[in-house]
Amino acid sequence: MNQIEILASKERFDFDDLRTVVQILRSPEGCPWDREQTHDSIRQNFIEEVYETVDALDRKDLSDMREELGDVLFQVAFHACIEEEYGNFDLADVCDEVCRKMIIRHPHVFGERVFDSEGKALRDWEAIKDKTHGDQTAEQILRAIPKALPALMRAQKLGKKSRKLGFDWEDVPEGMTKIKEELAEVEEALQNGTDRQIEEEFGDLLLATVNAARLAGVDAELALTRACEKYLHRFSLVEKQCLQTGNTVAQTKRQTLLSYWKNAKSAE
């Protein structure tokens, strides 16, 4: 039997089988769509699969976790296969590199170093990570934060890295003062600015808010996620009140909606 027949007859698959499946899909005997894909063409697929995995983790849905983790793993194998075709590296090289990195960054596990707290281990991890990246200017360290990250997450990382570099607000009150300054600039732009200036000032306000939250020990990404969920819950209560009167949300007057919203808040 050839590889395709062997795979088709198997009842359980492993990591090596995954690599073979991807190679077959990319081969002349495989799938025309898969053969045409590049890193760029499936970039968004990778991002979506990661978010779907995180959603499954948040919901603690074991079945979905298994499926979505598999989809992410497939994306890793697919990108590695593309580079294997160019002779640059393969999936085994990817595994080798990450194993080496984890061993080097955990000397308290794979070496003789001993830590008596999680904090000390984390600080050592960061120190080793910085060392393995070589000498970098402060700007290079900040620019190493991926642009592809969601803007809120990127803003948080920029703030954390900047603090380690010695450039940050002193405390939460100073951060709140900056928020007020940026809010005043937004209001000025709304009155007299161009569309581009309004966008810029709102961006500054958002960045200031993220940094003030960080200084207060708040994960802005998590805080906004929870705020969205709270909004959805309240909205559902508003809609129920509308439907009880025989109207949709769109058919209900604004003042009535605001009253329903207050009811939804007080019901929590």
Residues 81-120 have pLDDT tens digits of: 999 999 999 999 999 999 999 998 888 888 877 776 776 6
The total of other beta-carbon atoms located within 10 Å of residue 196's CB is 9
Task: Please report the pLDDT score of residue 132 as a whole number.
Answer: 67
Task: Please state the pTM of the whole predicted model.
Answer: 0.72
Half-sphere exposure of 105 (CA within 13 A, CB side): 16
Contact by Cβ (8 Å): 263, 236: no
Beta strands in 88-244 (DSSP E): none
Residues 198-241 have pLDDT tens digits of: 999 999 999 999 999 999 999 999 999 999 999 999 999 999 99
Task: Output the average pLDDT for the chain.
Answer: 92
